[in-house]
Amino acid sequence: MGQAPVVYGQSTRPPRGDYSRAGEDYTCPQDYASYTAADHDTYRRLYERQRALLPGLASQAFIDALPSLGASDHIPRFEEVNERLYKATGWELVGVPGLIPEVPFFTLLAHRKFPVTDWIRKPEEFEYIVEPDIFHDLFGHVPLLFNPVFADYVQRYGQGGLKAQGLGACEMLSRLYWYTIEFGLIREAGKLRAYGAGILSSSGELAYSVQSPEPQRIPLQLARTMRTRYKIDTYQQTYFVIGSFEQLFEMTAADFAPIYERLKGLPEFAADAREAVAT
């Protein structure tokens, strides 16, 4: 029993989370009894702050789905969220101790199981945390899993990830995840809105991504996205925009293998590259 901690990118401190609790698939029960009153208060304050920022910036689909998450004044129990989520889209939440490797991650998504880190940041990390915690995962990701089209896209991503692993194309596919599920923008009724979890759970990047003149915003194109590097420690310099979740789902219906083959050997693009790129 137990797994090795997982690290993505570079960090000067060891990964957080008790991986000795993780099973072979990296999941573990939510250790609800370990949450302190301060933990619940941190969740409440984070939730209240982010909810107040959503109007005019977040996707209406996200705003409409947020109440399905349940309680906002304390950390929700996964089993209570699952009662509603499974009825809505057939998804369920599973606890994990922190970041997990690609294959277990893809496998869980492919089976409509969404991994949620079960620890919460410390009060001194209220403004910024390096690794995703339970607030990021629950508030940022879970509401849109109640949307049937988006929920199907996330499952399709997991299925595609398992195939990409065998083709040596995980880096290209991870960029698609980053620029859609984590940092995607959408046009709703002609207006730019955020739907990516990394944006929706950030007090600063929510307004920046939608309103700032600084970043580049490009209609989502698979090849362009898969060739674009990203930064994990700053606001994004490029965002990719979809017209609807249906468009996103249809765009990813094709077999990616020919795309991977075509892109191998082609130059990558920096996170802030502004060149027009043929796809």
Q: What residues act catalytically?
A: 136, 141, 182, 201
CA–CA dist 237, 152 (Å, integer)? 28
β-bridge mates for residue 116, sequence order: 95
The DSSP element (H or E) to which 170 belongs, if any, is helix 170-177
Are 242 and 180 in contact by the 8 Å Cβ rule? The answer is yes
Question: Helix, strand, coil: what percent of the chain each, to 5?
Answer: 50, 10, 40
Tell me how far apart the alpha carbons of residues 143 and 154 are, in angstroms, rounded to a whole number.
13
User: ∠62-25-93 over CA atoms, to 5°?
Assistant: 25
Spatial CA neighbour of 61 closest among 190, 157, 150: 150
Q: Can you tell me the distance from the alpha carbon of 129 to that of 122, in angstroms, rounded to the nearest whole number? A: 9
Q: Which tokens go with 71?
A: 């309680």
Closest CA to 196 of 210, 212, 211, 180: 180
Residue 74 annotated as lining a ligand binding site: no
DSSP reduced 3-state for 176: helix
Q: In which element (H, E) is residue 13 found?
A: none
Is 250 annotated to bind a ligand? Reply is: no
Which residues line the annotated binding site for Fe cation? 136, 141, 182
